[in-house]
Chains A and B, each alone.
Chain A
């Protein structure tokens, strides 16, 4: 036992244990009892007991092991009380015997599959709706409360509670197995898990203003989950690629908006305020992943982010490299948004005319007709060619489509610049009646 300092020390220790161990405790308890609700209940109970007991007896040497044992005993009590028939009693006997099972916290027990891996693959099972996968991952693995998840996804609390109940019920009733998928399913399922973590990050990333702090916190949660995955699957290059990508984006979190909450583009961000340790960690992870010679979408996106972030100034960005990487990404992911990003990079590498040609191609395909960044990109390329009249018109189209407030204000500033340069104001469309930000 470590002699804990004051009361604050114990509370901090419990809070730290909650962040570090919640997922592990819940995962182990589900593995042992097969009952998701009971697992959560007993985990919660163990953390509550920790507050009292650690204050009295000191913080245990291995908080995770203490919490798991306490939660397991509690589950055993509950099941004993519930047990009525012989079959139930047999189950309890199995559970009691498991008390002597290999200790997952013992570093010598190397071949024990981490229960958290089972948990995350089950939470992200493709038979569950995507919103449920995200919510369940946040609840069971990351330990966010139902109200917190509801706030983060801008839905009423009862809706989120219902979503979690339904997901857990389906896992039980439909026979979704609690396991790491066998080899022939693993690549596809791993992609699914990474997709959930990436979506989580993007939800948080889209939030920029102070009122959206709960949503912004999703980025930190996504990084934490990606870290767990990278620790559990250290030989999967795309897992490392995802963590690298998230770290490289996350490192810029304090520079993406100014003091007034206005959007600051990559070009104008204060590079000295980027979280250097995260940039370094991200680039090191990326190198480690790429060395394995199995590139994938996350590694390529991380490589693009690294191109931007390792340039000493925006002007030093190697746009030819960025354009080539987007070309490679477009081959792997047939997405119009990726092709639009490539147009931006080509516009920087070879000049605005070359970028405009690619934008025109996308416009003809009609794929991104409702996406504000398509006209916004056209506008930016025209602006750089001093074709302010046409640029102003394109900014007008983008403003008709934009939904996010910070982005709208950014486009309005750019339009105002064009107007000051002598362009005629664009025909007003749906502007002013645009929908507020959010799903």
Chain B
């Protein structure tokens, strides 16, 4: 089954660039595991919510607003698309993620296929 793991981190935390993540010892075991297992099919580290632009169209008018579509205590910092057998395997992977281990959370959503 395909799942997307949304990597959520607390607002106001340290923002690590993809390069910094690659060098961060906290991420090393996770990255090694992901490489070895080959279950990650794609994904991205996203720029902070402050750089987001939210688009709505109302009555033919394009409305833009600065920031994410919903303000909350956590925001989506990135996502991974994974392919595993079932939810147990997805949860096992999510629970190794540094965000889940270190104050954030990982939302596991099945892909609608």
Chain B residues closer than 8 Å to A174, beta-carbon distance: 87, 108, 110
Cβ contacts B68-103/A at 8 Å (1 or 0 each): 000000000000000001111011000000000000
The B interface, classified by DSSP as helix, strand, loop or mixed, is mixed
Question: Within 8 Å of chain B (Cβ to Cβ): is A365?
Answer: no
CA distance A419 to B75 in the complex (A): 59
| Of the residues B85, B88, B90, contact of A185 by C-beta under 8 Å | B88
| In contact, A127 and B91 (Cβ under 8 angstroms) | yes
Give how many B residues have a beta carbon under 8 Å from the other chain's beta carbons.
10
A-B Cβ contacts below 8 A, count: 23
Question: Within 8 Å of chain B (Cβ to Cβ): is A177?
Answer: yes
Q: How far does the Cβ of B104 sit from chain A's closest Cβ, in whole Å?
A: 19
Q: How far does the Cβ of A54 sit from chain B's closest Cβ, in whole Å?
A: 39
Question: Within 8 Å of chain A (Cβ to Cβ): is B52?
Answer: no
CA distance A125 to B1 in the complex (A): 18
CA distance A185 to B89 in the complex (A): 11
| In contact, B86 and A175 (Cβ under 8 angstroms) | yes
Besides the known contacts A127-B91, A174-B108, A176-B87, 5 further A-B residue pairs in the complex with CB atoms under 8 A apart: A174-B87, A175-B1, A175-B3, A175-B90, A185-B88
A-B contact pairs, 23 of them (CB 8 A): A125-B87, A127-B87, A127-B91, A173-B110, A174-B87, A174-B108, A174-B110, A175-B1, A175-B3, A175-B85, A175-B86, A175-B87, A175-B90, A175-B110, A176-B86, A176-B87, A176-B88, A177-B85, A177-B86, A177-B87, A177-B88, A181-B88, A185-B88
Classify chain A: how many residues form its interface, as a range: under 10
Chain A residues closer than 8 Å to B85, beta-carbon distance: 175, 177
Chain B residues closer than 8 Å to A181, beta-carbon distance: 88
Instruction: List residues of A (13-42) whose CB comes within 8 Å of B's CBs.
Output: none
Chain B residues closer than 8 Å to A125, beta-carbon distance: 87
Q: How far does the Cβ of B71 sit from chain A's closest Cβ, in whole Å?
A: 26
